[in-house]
């Protein structure tokens, strides 16, 4: 399973990258707003810096909602570096833009997917990635992971190459269940990556090892 980090924060990306846990990065307008990105230039500079740092797929999301606007933004972002995958929302205009961009060889990550047939449509339109939002489904008392499980089955049934990104991850169980379901990628917020590393028995075990070692050396 590949790990992407779901953030626009360069410090978080740098730290997770040094842990060897960044196979890619996903951003969205909310995450960019959180780090104070205000202009198109700032956004493109940020995407460029992230690409230079990770040398791996980086999703940059369009903010236009009409096909022509999406295409213009997507083509601009795709020119930043080869690492850029353009994030397009799951709408009729988004599907039209996805088809055109895929035909031009631009990787598209279709985002805001909440049911498996949306993922099937995105795959048929040529998307390189689909992003089902698990946490937001859980938030409304619907089991988000069921969506991922069904997408895995559908893509296997028909041999789609489109990769499934488990998105809107809120906790380690989402990563575990995504891996068990056979999703290709989990895009994980920094805090959850750190939670994945920690286990209380690891800390207790390490403390005991060091205490035993010190006691022997002093005796």
**Residues known to be catalytic:** 87
Tokens of 97: 């833009």
Binder among 9, 26, 109, 118 for ligand G3P (CB under 6 A): 26
**Which three-class secondary structure state does DSSP give residue 110?**
strand
Tokens of 135: 């946490």
Q: Is the Cβ of residue 29 or residue 69 nearer to ligand G3P in the bound state?
A: 29
CB 171, min distance to ligand G3P, A? 11
Tokens of 68: 């022509």
CB 187, min distance to ligand G3P, A? 6
**Which three-class secondary structure state does DSSP give residue 7?**
coil
Interface with ligand G3P includes 187 (CB under 6 A)? yes
Q: Which neighbouring-strand residues pair with 88?
A: 110
Interface with ligand G3P includes 118 (CB under 6 A)? no
CB 204, min distance to ligand G3P, A? 31
Q: Is the Cβ of residue 30 or residue 201 nearer to ligand G3P in the bound state?
A: 30
Interface with ligand G3P includes 167 (CB under 6 A)? yes
Binder among 135, 146, 171, 184 for ligand G3P (CB under 6 A): 135
Number of residues that bind ligand G3P (CB under 6 A): 9
Alpha-carbon gap, residue 172 to 159, rounded angstroms: 29
Residues contacting 191, CB < 8 A, separation 6+: none
Interface with ligand G3P includes 109 (CB under 6 A)? no
DSSP notation for 81-96: -TTEEEEEESSHHHHH
CB 61, min distance to ligand G3P, A? 8
Tokens of 200: 């209380």
Buried b (16+ CB within 10 A) or exposed e, 10-32: eebbebbbeeebbbbbbbbeebb
Binder among 5, 6, 89, 125 for ligand G3P (CB under 6 A): 6
The answer to whether the beta carbons of residues 11 and 22 sit under 8 Å apart is no
Residue 1 DSSP one-character state: -
Site stretch for ligand G3P (CB under 6 A), options 43-51, 130-138, 194-202, 208-216: 130-138
Site stretch for ligand G3P (CB under 6 A), options 132-140, 150-158, 196-204, 205-213: 132-140
The answer to whether the beta carbons of residues 116 and 148 sit under 8 Å apart is no
Interface with ligand G3P includes 136 (CB under 6 A)? yes
Interface with ligand G3P includes 8 (CB under 6 A)? no
Which residues contribute to the site for ligand G3P (CB under 6 A)? 6, 26, 28, 133, 135-136, 167-168, 187
């Amino acid at each position: 399973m590949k790990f992407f980090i779901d953030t626009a924060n360069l410090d978080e990306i740098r730290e997770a990258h040094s842990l060897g846990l960044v196979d890619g990065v996903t951003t969205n307008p909310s995450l960019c707003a959180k780090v104070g990105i205000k202009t198109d230039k700032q956004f493109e500079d940020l995407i460029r810096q992230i690409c230079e740092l990770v040398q791996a797929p980086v999703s940059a999301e369009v903010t236009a909602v009409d096909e022509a606007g999406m295409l213009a933004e997507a083509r601009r972002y795709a020119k930043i570096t080869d690492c850029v995958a353009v994030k397009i929302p799951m709408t009729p205009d988004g599907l039209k833009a996805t088809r055109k961009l895929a035909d031009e060889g631009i990787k598209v990550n279709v985002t805001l997917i909440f049911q498996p047939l949306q993922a099937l449509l995105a795959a048929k339109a040529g998307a390189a990635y689909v992003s089902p939002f698990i946490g937001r489904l859980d938030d409304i008392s619907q089991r988000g992971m069921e969506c991922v499980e069904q997408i895995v089955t559908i893509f296997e049934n028909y041999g789609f190459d489109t990769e499934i990104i488990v998105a809107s991850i809120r906790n380690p169980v989402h990563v575990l269940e995504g891996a068990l379901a056979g999703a290709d990628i989990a895009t994980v917020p920094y805090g959850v990556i750190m939670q994945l590393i920690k286990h209380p028995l690891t800390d207790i075990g390490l403390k005991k090892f060091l205490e035993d070692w010190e006691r022997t050396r002093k005796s």
